[in-house]
Chains A and B, each alone.
Chain A
Amino acid sequence: MELFFIIGKFPYFYIMEIGASGKVKPTKDRHEAEVSKQTGFPSAATHYMEAPIDLNEELSIHKDATFYVRVRGDAWKTFSILDKDVLIIDRSLLPNFDDLALVVQDGGFKVIRIPFDKTQETFVLWGVITYIIHHVR
C-alpha cells in the first residue's frame, strides 16, 4: 500500500485515505430484471442495468464527518432556510468564501455566509452546510 503526500500549508495537508479507497461495497439483493421465470426470455433491459440512485453517494455524504441539524423558526429565511428544515453539514469541508456555514458565537449556533475577509467577525466554525432538506408535504 502506498501513501501519497502533498504537503501543503500547516495544518491542512493530506494523506490519501486508505480506508475510503480500500472498501468494497457489498451489492444489495434486488429483484433481478434479467430473465423471465415463466418464459426464460431475457429482459430487454439485460445489458442496460445500472445501480439505482443512492442519495448518500449523490450528495457525497461523508459519513464520518456529516451531521444533520433541525432548524426551528424562520431566522435564516434570507438563506432559504425555513422552519423545520434539516441541514446537512459536512465538517470535513474547509469553508470557502460565500459558503453557508453553521458557526458558534457567544455559546450559541448561528448560520452565516462565510465572508471574504474571515478576520472581520469572530466565530468558531462548526461545519459547512452542503444541503437543505425541505419537506413539502
Chain B
Amino acid sequence: MIAMVDCNSFYASCEQVFRPDLWGKPVVVLSNNDGCIIAANKEAKQLAHIPMFEAVYKIKHILIENKVTFFSSNYTLYGEMSQRVMNILETFSPSVEVYSIDEAFLDVKGLSYIDMRMYGFEIKERIYRYTGLPVGVGIAPTKVLAKLANRMAKKIPKHEHVYVMDTDAKRIAALEWADIGDIWGIGRKHVKRLQAIGVFKAIDFVKLPLAWVRKEMTVVGERLWKELRGESCLEFMAVPNPKKAIGTAKSFGQKLPDLGRIEEACAYYITEVAEVLRAQKSCATYIHVAVYTNYHSTIDKQYSNRITVTMPIPTNDTFALIAQARKALHHIYKPGFRYKKVAVNLTGLIPEHYVQGNLFEKRSKISDSNLMHTLDVLNRKFGKTTVSSAMIGTRVEEWELIKKERSPRYTTQWRELMKIGV
C-alpha cells in the first residue's frame, strides 16, 4: 500500500499558524512580484468571485471589500515548514518520496498488519500537533489510487481527511465517484477527448480497451490505466532523480532599460541556480540566457531574444558561470528597450566527478570547489548572498521582486520571531 499525504492550502496554512487572528478567515498568497494569486485557503476559495491566477492589480478592490488578507510569498517560511512535515513523515515510514513542497508518498508496504485508518489518523494528528498544519491522507494500492483516495479524504466530509482504499469494492466505488478530470495525470486536453467519446467518470476510463489508451494517450496513459486498475507501475522514488535542467525566470520589480542592472540581475539568478547545481553535485555544460520586454505593455516597444553558450569545461563554479552568462547577455541585449525579465537556464547537467578536462583550457579555470563550498556554507548560515560575486552589485532592491506584504521568516531568522504581548 502507498500513502499520499498532502497539506491543505499549504502556503496559506503556513501563514495562519503564526496568525491566530486569521483563523477561519480568507487568506491568499501572491506570486513572486505580487503579480497574481497563487494560493488561497478554503475560506477564500468559497468567495467564488476571486479568480485564481488573475493579476492582482485588477482584483485588489475585491480582496479588500471581502476582507481577504493577502501575503507576498514567503518561500523561506514555506520551505522550512515543509521540511518539518517531511521529517515527521519519515518517522512513519522508512521510505518517503517527497513529491512537491506540500506532498509526499509513503511506502507502507511492510506495514500491512497495522490498522491503516489509525495509521492515517496518527499521521494527520502528529503533523497538526507538531506544526499546526492540516493535512489529508489517502492510502491505496498504487500511487494514482492513493492520490485519488487523498482527494476523497478531503472532499467527502465523513472521512475526516483520512481515507483508506483497501478493498476492490472501495476501488470500484472510488472510480465511480471520480470525474475523469479528477485523475492525477490526465490533462485538460485528454479530458476533452475522453469526454467526446463518452468517458466522464474514472470507471469509464478503465473500461476502455488498453490498445486504445496506448494508441491515443501513449505509455503515460497506459500506466494511469493500469494504476487505476490496481496494478502498481509508477516507480517509488525515495531518492530524487537529479534535475536535468535548473533555471529561473523572474520579472523585475520595475522595467529596466540599462544593461548594467540587467547584468546584475542575471548574475544574481546565476548565483541562485549555481547553488542548486552544487547541492545536487552536478556541473552544467550549457547556459541559456534570455531577455524579455513586458508583452502586456501597450506603450513599450517589444523585443525578446535568447542565446545558448557552451562552457569550455562543464562547471558549477558561480564565477565561471557568471562570466559566460554575461558574455551571452551582451550578445542579445539591445539598447532602447525597457526589459521586464531575464531568464537563465543551466542544462547538460552531468555529475561533478564525470567532468572531463579540456586540452585547451588552463587548469586554473577548473572550478575551485573549496571556495564554492565556503560560499555555500556562509550563505546558508548568514543569509542569501552574504558573500557573492561583485557582479551582483549593490542595487538589488532596484530590480528585485516587490514583496510588500511578506510575513516574517518566523522559523529561520532570530530577528523575525513571532511576537506575543502588547
Contact = CB atoms under 8 A, between A and B. Distances in A.
B111 A104 contact: no
Contact of B122 (A11, A76, A91): A11
Contact of A107 (B21, B90, B418): B21
Given A13-B118, A70-B419, A65 B20 contact: no
Given A11-B121, A75-B422, A107 B114 contact: no
Given A18-B90, A108-B21, A73 B421 contact: yes
Interface string A64-86: 11011111110110000001001
A33 B132 CA distance: 45
Contact of A15 (B92, B132, B421): B92
Given A11-B125, A72-B422, A107 B131 contact: no
A53 interface: no
Of the candidates B87, B125, B421, B422, the one having the most CB atoms from chain A within 10 angstroms of its own CB is: B421
A97 interface: no
A68 B417 contact: yes
Nearest to B19: A107
A105 to B, nearest CB: 9
Given A107-B23, A108-B20, A126-B20, A67 B418 contact: yes
Contact of B419 (A20, A22, A69, A111): A69
Contact of B418 (A18, A19, A69): A69
Contact of B420 (A10, A13, A19, A72): A72
A18 B91 contact: yes
A75 B369 CA distance: 52
Nearest to B414: A68
Interface residues of B, number: 32
A86 B417 CA distance: 9
Interface string B107-141: 00011001000110110010001111000000000
A67 B87 contact: no
A96 interface: no
Interface in A1-37: 1, 3, 5, 7, 10-13, 15, 17-20, 22
Contact of B20 (A7, A15, A92, A109): A109
Q: In terms of DSSP, what is the predominant structure of the interface of chain A?
A: mixed
Given A73-B421, A86-B417, A17 B23 contact: no
Nearest to B121: A11
B417 A15 contact: no
A75 B414 CA distance: 22
B411 interface: yes
B94 interface: yes
Contacts of A107: 20-21, 23
B256 interface: no
Interface string B308-348: 00000000000000000000000000000000000000000
Nearest to A16: B91
Nearest to B422: A73
B410 interface: yes
A10 B414 CA distance: 37
Contacts of B84: 63-65
A87 B21 CA distance: 20
A75 B114 contact: no
Given A11-B122, A111-B420, A19 B20 contact: no
A13 B122 contact: yes
B114 A102 contact: no
Contacts of A12: 125
Contacts of B87: 19, 63-64
A67 B411 contact: yes
B234 to A, nearest CB: 24
Contacts of B114: 3, 5
Smallest CB-CB A-B distances: 5 pairs: A72-B421, A19-B90, A65-B130, A73-B422, A17-B91
18 contacts: A3-B111, A11-B122, A12-B125, A15-B122, A18-B93, A63-B87, A64-B87, A67-B410, A69-B419, A70-B417, A71-B419, A71-B421, A72-B419, A75-B421, A76-B421, A91-B129, A107-B20, A107-B23
Given A1-B110, A107-B20, 11 more contacts: A1-B94, A11-B122, A12-B125, A15-B119, A68-B414, A69-B420, A71-B421, A72-B419, A72-B421, A73-B422, A109-B20
